[in-house]
Homo-oligomer: A and B are copies of this chain.
Amino acid sequence: MTEPLKIAVAGLGTVGAETVRLLAANDEMLARRSGRQMVVTAVSARDRNKERGIDLGNAAWFDDAVALASDADADVVLELIGGEDGIAKAVSEAALANGRDLVTANKALLARHGAALARQAEAAGRSLAYEAAVAGGIPIVKALREGLAANRIDRVAGILNGTCNYILSAMQTSRRDFTEVLAEAQEHGYAEADPSFDVDGVDAAHKLAILASLAFGYEVDFDGVYVEGIRNVSLRDIAYADELGYRIKLVATARRTPDGIEQRVHPCMVPLSAPLAHVDGVFNAVVAEGDFVGSTVYEGQGAGAGPTASAVVADLVDIAAGRRSPTFAIPATELEPMRRASMDRHRGRYYVRLTVRDQPGVIADVAAALRDEQVSMEAMIQREQAPDQHGAVQVVMTTHTTVEASMTRALDRIGSLDTVLETPRMIRIAAM
Q: Measuring CB to CB, which residues of chain A are less than 8 angstroms from any residue of chain B?
A: 18, 22, 25-26, 29-30, 32-35, 131, 137-139, 142-143, 146-152, 217, 275, 278, 285, 290-301, 304, 306-307, 309-314, 316-318, 321-326, 329-331, 334
Contacts and interface: CB of A to CB of B under 8 A. Distances in A.
Counting from the closest, the 9 A-B pairs by CB-CB distance are A139-B147, A150-B313, A296-B300, A137-B293, A293-B310, A297-B299, A149-B317, A292-B306, A32-B330
A139 B143 contact: yes
Given A138-B296, A275-B278, A294-B307, 18 more contacts: A26-B152, A26-B291, A33-B330, A35-B331, A137-B292, A137-B293, A137-B294, A139-B142, A139-B146, A150-B313, A275-B299, A290-B310, A292-B310, A293-B311, A294-B304, A295-B300, A298-B298, A323-B323
A22 B150 contact: yes
A377 B409 CA distance: 63
Given A139-B147, A275-B278, A294 B300 contact: yes
A151 B329 CA distance: 25
A148 B310 contact: yes
A291 B152 CA distance: 34
Given A150-B309, A313-B149, A297 B294 contact: no
A29 B290 CA distance: 13
A328 B152 CA distance: 28
Given A143-B142, A330-B32, A334-B32, A150 B314 contact: yes
B148 A139 contact: yes
26 contacts: A22-B150, A26-B151, A26-B152, A32-B217, A32-B331, A137-B290, A137-B292, A137-B294, A139-B142, A143-B143, A143-B147, A146-B146, A146-B317, A146-B318, A149-B317, A150-B309, A150-B310, A150-B316, A150-B317, A151-B310, A292-B306, A293-B310, A294-B304, A295-B301, A296-B299, A321-B324
Nearest to A142: B147
B294 A306 contact: yes
Chain A binding surface SS class:
mixed
Contacts of A142: 139, 142-143, 146-147
Contacts of A310: 148, 150-151, 290, 292-293
A298 B296 contact: yes
A27 to B, nearest CB: 11
Contact of A323 (B18, B26, B148, B325): B325
A34 B146 CA distance: 9
Nearest to A22: B292
A148 B331 CA distance: 25
Contacts of A34: 149
Contacts of A304: 294
A162 to B, nearest CB: 13
Contacts of A331: 32, 35
A326 to B, nearest CB: 7
B152 A29 contact: yes
Contact of A150 (B30, B292, B330): B30
A301 B307 contact: no
A144 to B, nearest CB: 10
Contacts of A309: 150, 292
Contacts of A151: 26, 310
Output the residue of A139, A290, A295, A314 with the most chain B CB within 10 A. Answer: A139
